[in-house]
Amino acid sequence: MNVTPDAKELELCILQQLAQHGVDLSYRGFVLQHLRLPDAQWRWCCNSACDPCVERLGAVVDAVRQAFRIAAAGPSSDQG
């Protein structure tokens, strides 16, 4: 069951999770954009020692998804 979160509650949760995971608050928009994207479209580590790594950002996305029971979209059907 997906819950439609209040925008302010969602914003607060994102900011709290970014802080808790040690990720700069400027990544708020990234987290918001990736909440409903299929993980296969973005969740892969390039092993280039990025800071933050997509794995850390993914942990933030997961925590927010769990807090609001947001399901990621299914596999992408890009036919590009």
Summarize pLDDT for 7-24 with one digit per residue, the tens.
999 999 999 999 999 999
Q: Is residue 77 part of a domain?
A: no
Split at pLDDT 50, 70, 90, the class of 37 is very high
At 79 the pLDDT is 41
Residue 39, domain member (yes or no): yes
Query: Do residues 42 and 34 touch, judged by C-beta distance below 8 A?
Result: yes
The model's pTM is: 0.84
* Residues 5, 68 contacting (CB under 8 angstroms): yes
**Is residue 28 situated within a structural domain?**
yes
Give the dihedral sign, CA 42/43/44/47: positive
Q: Which phi-psi region, left, alpha or beta, contains residue 17 (left: φ > 0; alpha: ψ -120 to 50)?
A: alpha
Structural domain includes residue 2? no
Quick check: is 54 in a domain?
yes
Domain count, the chain: 1
Neighbour tally for 18: CB within 10 Å: 23
What is the span of the domain harbouring residue 49? Answer: 7-68
The Cα–Cα gap between 55 and 4 comes to: 25
Q: Is 78 among the domain residues?
A: no
